[in-house]
Structure 1
Amino acid sequence: MVARPPHRPPSRIRERVRRLRERFVFQREMRLRLLSASILIPVVLVTTWLGEVPFAGVVLLTGLLVVYEWLRMVGAGAMLEINAAAFVALGLVAVSAATQLVAVTLAVLLAAVAATVLAALRRRPLVAVRWVAAGVLYAGAAIIALIELRKGADGFGAVVFVFLVAWATDTAAFFVGRKVGGPRLWRRVSPSKTWSGALGGLVAGAACGGLVAIALDAPLSAVAFLAAALVAVSAEAGDLLESAAKRRFAIKDAGSLIPGHGGVMDRVDGLIAAALVTVCLGNLAAGETPASGLLALMGR
C-alpha cells in the first residue's frame, strides 16, 4: 500500500505562495533599481562635475518634476494655471539662487509661494491651497539648497558627499530592512520600513560620509562621522515625510518616471532633506560658501 504524503493545511500553501510572490517582486524591483541607478548616477555625477551652471539646470529640472508630481498628488495636476505659476516661480527661484545672495533668493521663494497661492485660490475648494503652497516651498527649498551647496571650488566635493551619504543610507536601509525585518519604524505612515533598516541606513551613511571626508582631505574624526550621521538621519526623515504626504492622499508612488523607484519625488525625498541639513551645517562654520564651511567643520 502506497503511503500518502502528509496533508498540508491550506494556510501553509498560501504562505509558501506568498513568499514566492514576494521573492519574485523583490528580484524584479532590484533589477529595475539597478538599471535605473546605472543610468542616473553617472549622469548626475558628470553634470555635477561639469560646473555650477549645468548642475543648476539639472536641479531646476528635478525641482519642476518634483512640484509637478506634488501638485498631481494633491489634486492640482490638471489645473493649468497653478502648474504654470509654480513652474515660472521655480524658474525664477533657480535663476536667483545661481546669481544672487541667499537672502534675495529666499525673498524670491516667498514671492513664488505667494504667486502660486493666488493661482490656487481661484480654484478653491477643488484644491487645498495649503498643500499647493507646501509643494512650491518644498521644491523651491530643494533648488536653493542644492545650488548653494555646489557653489565654489569645494562645491563638487560637498555635493558628492551629500549624494553618496543619501544613496548609501537609502540602499542599506532597503537591504537591511528586507533581510533583517523586525519592528516597524512608523507603521501608520510606512508599513514596510523597520527599525533595523533605519539603523542599517544610519551606520552605512555615517561610514560612507567618513570615507568621503577622507577623500576630500579632511581628517578622520568624530566630527566627520557625526556630520555624516546627521545627514543620514535627515535623509531617512525626508523619506518618512514624503511617505506621510503620500499616505495622506492615499497613493503608493508619486509617479512612474523612474523604473523601480516610482516618481522623481520618490527618488529625491531623502536627498532633499539631506541637502537642506548639509547647507545648514556648512553655514555654521566660517566659509565663503556652504561647501567650504562644511569641510572646515570637518577639520580640513
Structure 2
Amino acid sequence: MRKNGDSIAMAPGLKAVKFSRDWITRPFFAIVLGAAMVFAIFKGKPYLEIVAAVAALLAGREWHRLVGKGRFAAEYVTAAAMVSLSLGAFILWPRDQLLPLMILGTGAVAVYTVGLLRRNRPLWHAGGVLYLGLPSLAIIALHDYTPHGEWVLIGLFLIVWATDTGALVCGNLIGGPKLAPVLSPNKTWAGFVGGMISAAIAEAVFLVVLKTIVLNGRADWDLAAVGAAFGGSMAVIAHLGDLFESWAKRRFHVKDSGSMIPGHGGVLDRIDSTLATLVALAALVLLLKFDPLFGVFS
C-alpha cells in the first residue's frame, strides 16, 4: 500500500478506505443501544417489554411513513395501539400465550380496514403490524418461555451484531460483485460471506466461553463447531431481513427509514436483521423444541 496524494493505493482486490464520521458515531451508538438491550434482557419484566414496545413504536412510525408517503397517521395510531395491547397482554396475563397473537391478528385486520377505507396501501400497512409485532412478541416469548432465555437472546444478538459488523467491514474493504442489486444496490457477496463468518465465530466463542467461564465447565470443541454452524445459518436469515427492508425502501424510493440514530439511519434500519432472526428463532425453539444453547446448561 502506498500514498498517492490524498488517496491511498490499495493492494489489488481491496477498495480505498476513506475516513467517515460514521466510524465514530456508528460504533458509539451501537454500544449504547447494545448495552441497553443487554440490561433489559437480564432485568426481564417490565424492562424488556418496554424496550420491545418502544422499538416497535418508533420503527412502526418509520414503516407507515415509508409506505404511506405522508398519509400514515390513522394507520400508525391503530397499529401502535394494537401492538401495545398485544405486548401488554404478556405482562398482565403471562400464562395466556394465544391472547397476544389474537390481539396482533385483530390489529392487522383493523389496520387493513383503515387503509382500505382511505385507499392507502392497506396490505402494506397491515403487513407492518405483523412485521414489527411478531418480533416484539417473539423476544418476550423467547425470554419467558425458554429455559435460560436470557442467554438464548444474548447469543442471538451477538449473531446479529457480528453479522452486521462483518458485512459492513468486508463489504467496504473488499467490495466486488453485488449480492442482489435489484433488492439492494450496495450489498456485496463479500459482505454476505464476511457476515456469515463473523457470526459463526461469534457464536462459537460465545458458547465455549459460556460453558467454560460462566458455568466452570470443560472446553468442548464439538460445541464450538455446532455453534459456528448455527451462527452462520442465522446470519443468512439476518441478511435476508436486511435485504427485505432494503427492498422496501427501494420500492418506495427512500434511502433511509429515518435519521434517529446517528451513523445507522432510522430505528428500522438498525433492527431489520433482528426482526427476521427473532421470528425464525422463536419458531425453532417454541414450535420445534430446538435448543440454541446445545445443552450448555445440562
Do they fold alike, i.e. is TM over 0.5? yes
In the alignment, what sits opposite 2:107? 112
SS state at 1:196 partner: helix
Within 2, Cα distance between the matches of 1:48 and 1:77? 35
Within 2, Cα distance between the matches of 1:207 and 1:38? 19
Within 2, Cα distance between the matches of 1:96 and 1:298? 32
In the alignment, what sits opposite 1:216? 210
SS state at 1:135 partner: helix
Question: Are 2:112 and 2:125, in contact at CA under 8 Å, matched by a contact in 1?
Answer: yes
- Post-superposition Cα deviations, 1:99-133, rounded to whole Å, max 9, x if no partner, equal 24433322221111011112222211xx1111001
How far does residue 295 in structure 1 lie from its aligned partner after superposition?
2.6
Question: Are 2:205 and 2:224, in contact at CA under 8 Å, matched by a contact in 1?
Answer: no
Higher helix proportion: 1
In the alignment, what sits opposite 1:250? 253
SS state at 2:292 partner: helix
How far does residue 296 in structure 1 lie from its aligned partner after superposition?
4.7
TM-score calculated relative to the size of structure 2: 0.85
Within 1, Cα distance between the matches of 2:149 and 2:244? 27
Within 1, Cα distance between the matches of 2:115 and 2:272? 24
Within 2, Cα distance between the matches of 1:284 and 1:82? 31
The amino acid across from 1:244 in the alignment is W
SS state at 1:192 partner: strand
In the alignment, what sits opposite 2:194? 200
> Share of identical aligned residues, percent?
33
In the alignment, what sits opposite 1:65? 58
User: Is the alpha carbon distance of 1:62 and 1:210 closer, same or farther for their aligned partners in structure 2, counting shifts above 3 Å?
Assistant: same
In the alignment, what sits opposite 1:188? 182
- How do residues 223-238 of structure 1 correspond to structure 2 at under 5 angstroms? 223-238=226-241
In the alignment, what sits opposite 1:4? none
TM-score calculated relative to the size of structure 1: 0.84
Which runs of 5 or more structure 2 residues have no equivalent in the other structure? Answer: 11-15, 213-219
In the alignment, what sits opposite 2:126? 133
Within 1, Cα distance between the matches of 2:293 and 2:288? 9
Within 1, Cα distance between the matches of 2:297 and 2:38? 25
Larger Rg: 1
User: Is the alpha carbon distance of 1:58 and 1:52 closer, same or farther for their aligned partners in structure 2, counting shifts above 3 Å?
Assistant: same
CA RMSD in angstroms, aligned pairs only: 2.6
- How do residues 1-300 of structure 1 correspond to structure 2 at under 5 angstroms? 24=18, 26-75=19-68, 78-98=71-91, 99-124=94-119, 127-151=120-144, 154-217=148-211, 219=220, 220-283=223-286, 286=289, 293-296=291-294, 300=298
User: Is the alpha carbon distance of 1:297 and 1:144 closer, same or farther for their aligned partners in structure 2, counting shifts above 3 Å?
Assistant: farther
The amino acid across from 1:195 in the alignment is W
The amino acid across from 1:178 in the alignment is N
Question: Are 1:68 and 1:77, in contact at CA under 8 Å, matched by a contact in 2?
Answer: no
SS state at 1:253 partner: coil
Which runs of 5 or more structure 1 residues have no equivalent in the other structure? Answer: 1-12
The amino acid across from 2:293 in the alignment is L
